[in-house]
Structure formats: C-alpha cells, structure tokens
Chain A
Amino acid sequence: MTASALLVGLIIVPLAGAVLTPVVGGRDGARACGWATLVMVVTSGIAAALVVHVAQVGPFSAYLGGWEPPYGIELRFDEFSASVAIICLLGLLAVVFSLRYAAHELPPVRIGTYYTLLLLNLTGMLGFVVTGDVFNLFVFMEILSLSGYALVAISGERTAEMAAFKYLVMGAVSSLLVLFAIGLLYALTGSLNMADISARLSGAAEAPAMLALALLTTGLMVKAALFPLHVWLPDAHAIAPSPVSALLSGLVVKTGLLGLIRVYQIYYGAKVLDLSALNTVLVWLGAISIVMGAFFAIFQEDIKMMLAYSTISNIGYIVMGLGLASQYGMIGATVHIFNHALIKATLFLGAGAIIYRTGYRNLTDLRGVGRSMPFTTAAISVGAISIVGMPPTAGFLCKWYIALGAVQAGHPVFGVALVFGALFIFVYYIRMVNSFYFQQPVHPEILEVKEAPLSMLVPILILAALCLVMGLLGRIPLSFIEPAVTRLLGTVGG
C-alpha cells in the first residue's frame, strides 16, 4: 500500500469505526470496547507505518481523488504530524482502560455512544494534525471539540453538564475566531491550502494578515488553555471520565499547540510579518501559565483537579519553548507535546483507577491508598517524578531543552522561570505522594481495596514505563524532530 493510501486510511478507519460502533456494539459495552480496540489497533498500525515512512523519506502528501492543490484536498504528513503516533497510542490505551471504567461510571445506554464519541474525538485529532489545508483544519477541530464537549458531559451528572457547557462556550468562541481568521486568509490569498497561503501571503497587506494571525493565535490558545484563556479547563478535565481526561489533557489541548505550529509554518514561510512581538507575548504568557497553573494546583484537594491545573503549567512550558523561537526551545517544546501526553495520561489513568476502586478523589480521603494499590500508586509516582522534570525521565528533556533554548535565545531569565516554576509543581506532587504513602488513612477501609483490574493496570504500567524509557531514549524523538524544526526556523533565518 502506498503512503498516501495509508494517510487517507488513517482518517477513514477510525471515522468508519466510530460510525459503525453502535452497529457492532449494540447494547453490549464490552463488545463496543472490543470493536473500538480493534479499530485503534489498526489505526495505530497505520500510524506507525506513516511515522517510519516520514523518518525515511521526509514529509509527503496525499491528494484526495488525485486533485492537486490549490484545487483539491491535501493531506500533509510531516515530522510534526508524527504526533499521530502518540494520539493512537493513548487512544488505544484509553479505550482498553474504559472497558471497566465505563461499565462502572456510565449509564449502560450511553456506553455505545461513549465509544463512538471517543473514536470521533481521535479521528478529529488525527485529521487535525495531518490536514494540509486550513479549512479542513477547522473541520477537524470542530469534530474533536464537539465530541469533547459531549464526552465531558457524558456521565450526565449536573456538575459534568455545567463543566461541559463552560467548555462549549469557550470552545465555540475560539472556533469562531479561527473560522473568521480562515475567512480573512482566504480573502487575502484566495486559497485554503497552507503551503499555497504561505506562498501568496508574502505580497498581502500587513494589517489584515496581522489580524488573521492574532485571531488564529487567540483561538488556538483558548483550545490550548494558555493562561489567561484557561478558565474552562480545570472543571472540564477534572469532571470528565478519567480516560477522557487523559485524552483531553494529554492530547486535545495539544491540538491548539500543533495548530500554532501550523500557523508558524504559514507565517514564517510568508515573511509578511515580524513575529517577534507575538513571540514575546507567548513567552511571557507561557511563563505566567507555568507559575499560575502551579499556584492554583497547590490549593486543590481533588486529585483530578490538581492534575488539570498541572496541565496549564505544562502548556506554559510548551508555549514558552515555541515562543523562544530558538532551535533548542522549539525542539524541546515539540518533544514535550509528546512526552507530556504520556505523563499526563499516566497520571489521569492512575487517578481514574484509584477513584474507580476507592470512590474517593480528595487527597485527604485517599491517604494510605499506596498500601492497597501499590502498582497504581507507583505508576503515579513515576508520572509525578517525570512531570516535575527529574532526570532521566521523559519530563526532564523538555526542561533541559527549553532552558537551553532560553539561553540560546538570549533570555536566560526565562530558563530560570522555567526551572523554578517546576519547583512549585513539585510542591503539590509531594503532597500527593505524602498522602498516598506517608500519612495515616482517614478511612480505614481504604486499606482493604483491591489493586486495579488488569484492563486498567496494564495501560497505566505501560505508560509509566514509557515515562522512564522515553527519557533514557530521548535521542530518538529529539533527532527525529530536529530537521523539521531546522526547516521551520530556517525560513526565518533563526
């Protein structure tokens, strides 16, 4: 099979899988889960083949129906698109994890819907990162956002509906901004294809190009939950079912960042504007996000709420790295998109398993759970060490590269902010670890609960192992992404 057929398959398979889930699964949750697992296994296989292909030959495209751009639809697979690998991996693990979780948490009639939405959400993300034109970017963004709103609300509890509504309002505004910007770009260049826009934008008027840039960035940063556009995130991520939280926190917010990289590709290539002002804003907002996310997290009692705020900090890291616009910073940021997804999924799935077994979600109530669920809490501890950036775990690479990037860009002060921001983050993870292991249980029955079932434990342990391994094997993602970053920054001569 050719690479372009695979690329089309990457979207068609999960999309068709999503549509067929109610047919195959019917009212049987386990069967629906089995089907979704099968779909994700096939999709993961396709994604793996595509990543290997891009590593060998570099970026490539698929033209739907053989129509070449600017007329036809282009799917473009470059090194940044390799994030399909992590989307598929997490998608697969979240689906497996859901087998017991969904059966326990959701009303039975909604379980089929749940898997459909999950697959749709994954389809949206896969499409988002491989599409070559801005309109489809918007379409896929809507697919993943709408399915995301529904997934947050799916438990049907009142708080869930409120959180989903808040998420929907913010999300709708951001979509509107993005759509308007796309309209502007079309008006300016007469094209929707990214490469084409980039080429034609160089002669365009500055003011509307800048407006489009501002709208795109703002819209995408709402999706990414960069401070101060983060207000929707904590509730939505904390209240959603845990596998969904893992996907939302690990992946969905990252689409905003991957979208930002696409915007960079368009604008850096076009050389129509000097982006340094935008970058300065982003670096500062990134730094503030790191500190504010950590600051709010310290006061949380709810374990998932804490993890949700920690996502805001980590988005701050990545945005800072992108905004530094130096080689090291950008590589670090891109790799952290990948690594943070792993780490945050470990943490959310682990928290989910604990909530599933104990029924508690507050740190005080969870005291002593380390004795009864040793593997799950060990995995969470690995995730915690990793997210604060202890060497040699996966989270360290980002700290190392972005701090180097800050020095390289001539702003070592941001390196300092980054490193000391991580200290704040450690403070609340140490609270969590203390409550798991070193404090006397408030509820004695917590010592009696069983370790998580295998369908939950295996995904958690796989992810925790990856948190360690990806740190030791950091060379692989780093050298994989390097040419793409060099190309991107090469166009600005940075």
Chain B
Amino acid sequence: MVRSVVPPLAFLLPMIGAAGVIPLTAKAPRLRKIALAMICLLEIAVAVSFIPGVLSGTEYETHLVQLTPKIWMYLHVDAMGALFGLTASVLWLLALVYSFGYMEGEHRLTRYYVFFMLALSWTMGVAYAGNLLTFLIFYEMFSILTYPLIVHEETPEAMAAGTKYIIYILIGGSLVLLAIVFTFFLAGEQTLAAQGGLLAISMGKGKLTAVFWCFVVGFGVKAALVPLHGWVPDAHPAAPAPFSAVLSGVMVAAGSFGIMRVVFNVFGVALLRELDVMRWLTYIAAFTVVFAALLAVSQDNLKRRLAYSTISQMGYVALGVGLLGQEAVTGALVHIANHAFMKGALFLCAGLLIKRAGIHRVSEIDGLAQKMPITAAAFLVATLAMIGTPPLSGFVSKWFLGLGMLDVGQPAYLAVLLGGALLAAVYLMPIVYAAYFRPPSAAVLAIPERKGAEAPASMLGPLVAAVLITVLLGIASSLPGMPLSLARLAAAIAFK
C-alpha cells in the first residue's frame, strides 16, 4: 500500500471542469469544448497512471477528511477499481466529444456539461472508494445528481422517466445504506482492502444473509437485475444519446461493480460459500440474461431495445460473480469494460440516427447503409461483438464466462450463455440486415444531404473510436495493461 496524492485528482479534476464550464458558457463555447476535452484526457492519464503499479502489486491510498470520529473518507486504488476507473474515463471522453456534435443547438448546455462532468467525478469516486461509506457517498451522489441529465430534454416522457429513475434508485440507495449501517455495526469500519472480507460467520447466519440481500437488492436496482430493472428501458430513450451511452456502459455497471465489492471485499468468497446464497444470485442473473433479451426482441424503439440488451448483458456480469469461480469472475470483470464500449458504440449509432435522420424506430432503418455507411458499419461491428463473435471483445468475456462455468462444474449455465448470445443475434442482426439489404425507407430517403462525411467529425470520431476499442479489446486482449490483465489480477486477489 502506497500513500499517494493522485487518487483524489480522479474526482477533483472533473469537478474543476464542471466549475469551469459556468463562466465559459456563453462567451467561449469553443474554449469550453477544448477545456473539457483536456480534462477528460487528464482524467484518462490519471486512470492509466495507476495501472503499471497495480499490475505489479502496488495499491495506492489517500485519506481525505475524517467524516465521523471513526470513519475517514478514504480512497484506495486496487485492480478492480483501476479497471472500472479506466473504462469510465475512456468512455466519458468519447461521449463528451460526441456531445459536442450531438448537443449542438440544444437548450441548457451549461447545465448539461456541468452535470456531465460531475457525473464523471462521482463515478471515478465510486471506482476508487476505499471504504463502504466513501463508496456510498459517491454512489448516492452520482445516482441522484444524474437526474438532471436524464430529464435534460424536459419532455413529459423525459420527466416521467426521470421520476421513475429517481424512485427506483432511491429505494435501492436506501437499502444499500441500511446494509452499510448493519455492516458497520457488525464489523466496525474497515477498508475494502482487507483480505477475505469484513464479516465473519460468527456474526450470525441470519443477520449476514439479511445484510447480503439488502446489498444485492440495493445494488441490483442499479445493475438492472430483473425484476428491479424497471427504470432502465425508460431512462435510456429519454436521455440524450451520449449520456445514454455512459448510462448503459458505466452507470448500470456501477451497480454490478457494487455487487462485486460486496461479494469480494465485504463478505469474501469463503463466507459466501458457507452462507450458500450465491446460487440464488446466479438464478436471478440467468433469468435476467434470458428474460431481458426476450423482451428486447419485440422493442421497436431502438434505444429501448438497446436498453433491454444492457439489462441482459449486465445479467452476464452478475452470473459470472454468482458462480464464484476465478475464471467466471475474470469474465464478469472484463465484460464490464468490453460491454461499455460495444454498448457505447451502439448508443452512439442510435444518437447519429436521431440527429441526422430523425430515426427512433428499428422499422425505419431499412437501407440505412446507402446513406450512412460508416454508421451502419459501426453498428455491424458492435453487433457482432455483442453476439460474441471472435475475435471481438464480446467473445473474450464470454470465453472466460464459459470456462468459468465448466470450472465450477455448472455446465448447465452454458445454455444461458449461448442462449443470451443467440437472442442478441435475434434482436440486433435484423437491424443490420435491414440497414444493408432492404430498400431504403422513407425516413432514410429523407435524410438531408451533407457535404463531406455523413455526420460531423465530433460524432463520427468517437463512434469509430469506440468500435476500434471494441476490436482492440478483442484481438489484443492479452497484452499487459489491457482490462483483461486487470480483471485476471482482481480475480486472483479475490480467490487467493
């Protein structure tokens, strides 16, 4: 453990950015863009700077302020956090640059950018939180204060989606708070770095089980475990596309990340095996994978279909955690990173369709490839990754998940894994097919002509980057410093 002053930068930098947005608003929109992009780049630099150390076994910590006589606000960077922080910061940069194009001419841009940067700040705090209370602080802040982003468009649908979001999230947050209160009462304040968890079987099986479910249900709301997923399909279509991308890619994953913290750092693998609660989590997760994918098939609104796909994919993550096998957990962790970019790419495509063509529905996509070839190609690659085609990133996570299932002797779950992938093909491939092989729809024909590329570079650039990252995470997954290496390390620590 090394004391370091760098971790607080992860959440301070975007806060400074958010504060800086306000004076730059009307006078210098260009300067604002440059400044925000620089901050996101710095943010990535911070996230990357931890990785060599973490991979060589060094963990970083910072004590910030003493909240109560017993508890510090405390940051701690370990492999799991470094993985999540890296994913979040990179995806945020893409979404931010995309916003420059997408949000052009939209109302209340200052508010949008302020909360966009604040959301990054709090997400990074979640990634690097070193104890439960610190985790809760950042988790609650980013849950509540992303509300302005979800209702940004201020339409009645957006307001209704926002209300639904906030109610779900508050109930989840309250359960997490209760669980943390109980944990604190049982275990006292300890950092999440403590090996093998904070709790012990001697504290009483009933109590521990109750605490576990409080945690899992609380975080499960955010992680969109069925039947706690109700806010997801409404919030995603309502939010502006770049925010939908991070909402799906990182925010929902933060719930899964919370569950992982609980499983590996609060309870510990040994205790959970003894409590025998994890198989219920796997049942729920397996159900989530299949059920959400089935629902996705029948959605006509593209963003809503993608939202159901997110629910299904997060089910994989929970499934990997629930199996409690080292390989499966590696797969779950790396899937957080992989899913962020492929789902990010899909939402960025959806945003381009809305912005350039006014297309919201799957049924209007026919013949899109003729007018918007790059968008269609990006959609194709992301779809293949989502299905799990080698050598793209989705394949890597599914490979480890599958290995993990065999490893823990539960091959039956392979059916879920493959079924989910098959359903992903069923709900995404028809879109690709329609885009390439159907005659253009009226909506596509009505796309206004544009000089040069099919869309502004600020929107196409992030989309292409997200697709390239998806490819890279597949073909170069085994290089050191890639998410897979961090995921392997984190899983190894958890099962030591």
Contact = CB atoms under 8 A, between A and B. Distances in A.
B471 to A, nearest CB: 39
B140 A478 contact: no
Contact of B182 (A412, A473, A474, A482): A412
B458 interface: no
Contacts of A390: 140-141, 144
Contact of B177 (A403, A408, A478): A403
B148 A400 contact: no
Interface string B157-190: 0010011001100110010011001101100000
Contact of B67 (A385, A399, A416, A472): A472
Contacts of B159: 434, 438-439
A129 to B, nearest CB: 24
Nearest to A416: B178
B174 A423 contact: yes
Interface in B176-217: 177-178, 181-182, 184-185
Contacts of A471: 67
Contacts of A67: none
A437 B154 CA distance: 9
A400 B67 CA distance: 11
Contacts of A440: 154
Contacts of B137: 391-392
A400 B176 CA distance: 12
A472 B181 contact: no
A246 to B, nearest CB: 25
B327 to A, nearest CB: 36
Interface in B126-166: 133, 136-137, 140-141, 144, 147-148, 151, 154, 159, 162-163, 166
Contacts of B147: 430
Interface in B334-385: none
Contact of A438 (B133, B151, B185): B151
Given A392-B73, A422-B174, A472 B65 contact: yes
A130 B133 CA distance: 36
Contacts, number: 75
Contact of A391 (B136, B162, B167): B136
A397 interface: yes
A56 interface: no
Contacts of A482: 69
A104 interface: no
A286 interface: no
B298 interface: no
A478 B170 CA distance: 26
B68 A478 contact: yes
A275 interface: no
Interface in A413-428: 415-416, 419-420, 422-423, 426-427
Nearest to A423: B170
B141 A419 contact: no
Contacts of B56: none
B67 A419 contact: no
B239 to A, nearest CB: 13
Contacts of A330: none
A239 interface: no
A298 to B, nearest CB: 13
Contacts of A422: 174
Nearest to B133: A391
Contacts of B141: 390-391
B154 A404 contact: no
A385 to B, nearest CB: 7
B178 A403 contact: yes
B185 A404 contact: yes
A440 B155 CA distance: 10
A192 B220 CA distance: 58
Contacts of A426: 166, 170
Contacts of B178: 403, 415-416, 419
Contacts of A427: 167
Interface string A379-419: 00000010000111000010111011001100010011001
Contacts of A391: 133, 136-137, 140-141
B65 A479 contact: no
A404 B171 contact: no
A472 B66 CA distance: 7
A158 interface: no
Nearest to A404: B181
Given A390-B141, A403-B181, A438 B69 contact: no
B171 to A, nearest CB: 7
A246 B380 CA distance: 60
A404 B185 CA distance: 7
A216 B163 CA distance: 44
A430 B140 CA distance: 15
Interface string B53-96: 00000000000011111000100000000000000000000000
A419 B166 contact: no
B181 A407 contact: yes
Contacts of B151: 434, 438
Q: Output the residue of B67, B133, B137 with the most chain A CB within 10 A.
A: B67
A385 B118 CA distance: 15
A420 B68 contact: no
A407 B67 CA distance: 20
Given A407-B182, A438-B154, 9 more contacts: A390-B141, A392-B73, A403-B178, A407-B181, A419-B177, A423-B174, A473-B65, A478-B69, A482-B69
13 contacts: A390-B141, A392-B73, A397-B68, A400-B68, A400-B181, A403-B177, A415-B181, A422-B174, A423-B171, A430-B147, A437-B111, A440-B154, A472-B73
Interface of B: 65-69, 73, 111, 133, 136-137, 140-141, 144, 147-148, 151, 154, 159, 162-163, 166-167, 170-171, 174, 177-178, 181-182, 184-185
